[in-house]
Copies of this chain bind each other. A is one copy, B any other.
Amino acid sequence: MAITHATGYAITDPKKYLDFELKKYELEPLEDDRITVAVEVCGVCGSDHHTISGGWGPFATKFVVTGHEVIGKVVEVGPKVTEFKVGQRVGVGAQVGCCGKCKACKGPNENYCVQPVHGYNTHWYDGAEHQGGYSTHVRAQERFVFPIPDSLESTDAASMLCAGITVFSPLLRNGAGPGKKIGVVGLGGLGHYAVLFGTALGADVTVFSRSDAKKEDALKMGAKDFIATTDGFAKGKELEFDAIIVTASSSSLPVNELLSLLDIEKKLVFVGMPEEGLSNITSQALSGNGACLTSSHLGNRQEVLKMLALAAEKKIKPWVTVLPMKEAAKAIKAVENNTVRYRSVLVQDIEA
């Protein structure tokens, strides 16, 4: 029988962003190219906290069911789906749809579609609401559904679909590999993946953090070096780095000093999304070495598949805390308090 509804842990008021409440709601139409996935596990992302607490603005839908790091089973496929079968284990990340018509979609850059559909708190092109994976079911276009290699555990693979690809794509696009020196600013969910994947790709990874508190963890993850960003930390290290991935979601970073560490015309890639925007950027700091300040949005399909294959091949084990889905508030609180080490993953517990 066709699936028409999902049940999920919803937030209705950004002022009460820890008050998750089970709600049943209509799913968007299945459509030709869409797949319905029964959620088994779902990772908890900083975006979930930014969204439900209103930090990124008011809700776009009646209520919000967050979650965009889903692993589950295919339970329905639209008639034009070619790659997937009912029963198959798959992943769905933070983008579930693209227009298919713009320059980005026609190239291999659907992650830069000019009208993307994201994982929750959003609408499809026909106006139907779309919600996320703290729930029983999600739907996504086939292009945004990924087969999961057998050797990866679901609780390990889940957070790769957003946190993982968010750092893996800029690592790849900035040439992370043997002989390259990559900086990672901040060691949280994203940062820990940047160390794991950067190292797996063969690069020398240096972690920058405000204090030495996470030094031991960083080195265990594979970092070659750890630098606390105290006064003068950048001195004498000019032009040393091939890329720096900023995973800290803060607007008070020492951006100008970090820029000076980059080799000529290399990039400082912001993947943290501070709510206040960036400031104190001087064009003088950018002109000293022609360094680029940029950001990145997830990764394309080829990059996601490459990441999952690398994780399976190198047996990459993310550092995750596993909780039942009903403890979503506890996981969100841990994001807010910065106590996650280094990603929480929720396991399905909603009765069908």
Contacts and interface: CB of A to CB of B under 8 A. Distances in A.
A270 interface: yes
B112 A288 contact: yes
Interface in A105-146: 107, 109, 112, 114
Contact of A291 (B114, B281, B289, B294): B294
Nearest to A267: B292
From A263, A291, A292, residue with most partner B Cβ within 10 Å: A292
B283 A272 contact: yes
A290 B286 contact: no
Given A104-B264, A277-B280, A270 B286 contact: yes
Contacts of A112: 239, 264, 288-290
Contact of A282 (B104, B277, B290, B294): B277
A49 B294 CA distance: 31
Given A107-B264, A263-B103, A290 B283 contact: no
Contacts of A284: 273, 295
A293 B290 contact: no
Interface string A283-317: 11011111111111100000000000000000000
Contact of A277 (B272, B281, B295): B281
Nearest to A240: B103
Contacts of A292: 267, 292-294
Count of chain copies: 2
A286 B290 CA distance: 17
A238 interface: yes
A102 interface: yes
B295 A294 contact: no
Interface string A169-182: 00001000000000
A104 B289 contact: yes
Interface in A241-278: 263-265, 267, 270-274, 277-278
From A263, A292, A294, residue with most partner B Cβ within 10 Å: A294
A290 B103 CA distance: 14
A337 interface: no
Contacts of A295: 283-284, 286-287, 290
Given A273-B283, A278-B281, A264 B109 contact: yes
A287 B296 contact: yes
Given A271-B287, A291-B294, A292-B292, 14 more contacts: A103-B264, A112-B264, A267-B292, A270-B283, A271-B283, A273-B284, A277-B283, A279-B280, A284-B295, A287-B296, A287-B297, A290-B297, A292-B293, A292-B294
Q: Which 9 A-B pairs have the closest CB atoms?
A: A286-B295, A287-B295, A292-B292, A270-B283, A292-B294, A277-B282, A287-B297, A278-B281, A293-B293
Interface of A: 102-104, 107, 109, 112, 114, 173, 238-239, 263-265, 267, 270-274, 277-284, 286-297
8 contacts: A102-B238, A103-B264, A265-B294, A270-B283, A270-B286, A278-B279, A278-B281, A287-B297
